[in-house]
Amino acid sequence: MKPRFFLSVATLALVACGGGEPADTGAGSTPAGSAAPAPTAAAPSGPMTTPEWFSVDNTARTVRMVITAGFVPDNNYWNFNGATKGSMAITVPEGYTVSIEFTNRDPNMAHSLGISSETVNFSIPPTPTPVFAGAISQNPGSMIDGTMPGETETITFVAERAGNYSIVCYIPGHTAIGMWLYFNVSTGGEVGVQTR
């Protein structure tokens, strides 16, 4: 009697836990075992501004900015200039030389900065391959050799191709928590910073 009782309980548990063939959920469903991309946050559409940490020289065709990781304690210090989850968009003109003074003020954690082609699924760490040559900090995926608390690094590159990109921290898990911003390269000379 005990073996039949055990078999009945095991069968009931399998049915209750969803054993058997997966149900057909329709043409638009995500296949089993694959993750659906995280929704993209709406890009900021506020007025274009030039905050004190951002400057442009149209004659020299340069943009200079100071970006600080851990600028405020919000989001466990995992922010760029206090912004997270695409709540800021930085736009520079195509062909301009961009110089970023990157500082880490997070008291506990290494961070990095790079310009990524990823703009959709930040739940998966982006591959540390920058869109533009030089548009990445040193040892970007390392928690022990990245830009450590109190360190500053200068990143310089030419925004040679118009498009919509992102500024990300390549330390695993940081983009999933929201450590990314929009970075756009314009063809019409637009330049500045937008926030939500």
Query: Who wins on pLDDT, 7 or 134?
Result: 134
Written as six digits, the tokens of 170 are 């390549």
- Secondary structure of residue 184 in the 3-state scheme: strand
Q: Any idea what the Cα angle at residue 169 is, between residues 167 and 120, rounded to 5°?
A: 60
Task: Let me know if residue 160 belongs to a domain.
Answer: yes
Task: Let me know if residue 123 belongs to a domain.
Answer: yes
Question: Residue 108's closest CA among 144, 55, 66?
Answer: 144
Residues 20-53 pLDDT 10s: 333 333 333 333 443 434 446 788 988 999 999 9
Q: How far apart are CA 124 and CA 127, in angstroms?
A: 9
CATH code of the domain in which 83 resides: 2.60.40.420
Task: Let me know if residue 141 belongs to a domain.
Answer: yes
Q: What is the mean pLDDT of residues 171-183?
A: 96
Q: Which residue has the tokens 């995992």?
A: 78
Task: Let me know if residue 66 belongs to a domain.
Answer: yes
Mean pLDDT of the chain: 84
Task: Let me know if residue 139 belongs to a domain.
Answer: yes
Q: How far apart are CA 18 and CA 30, in angstroms?
A: 17
> How many domains does the chain contain in total?
1
pLDDT value of residue 42? 84
Question: 114 is in which domain, residue-wise?
Answer: 52-195
Residues 55-98 pLDDT 10s: 999 999 999 999 999 999 999 999 999 999 999 999 999 999 99
Task: Let me know if residue 32 belongs to a domain.
Answer: no
CB burial readout 146-173, b (16+ within 10 A) else e: bbebebeeebebbbeeeeebbbbbbbee
Task: Let me know if residue 153 belongs to a domain.
Answer: yes
Task: Let me know if residue 15 belongs to a domain.
Answer: no
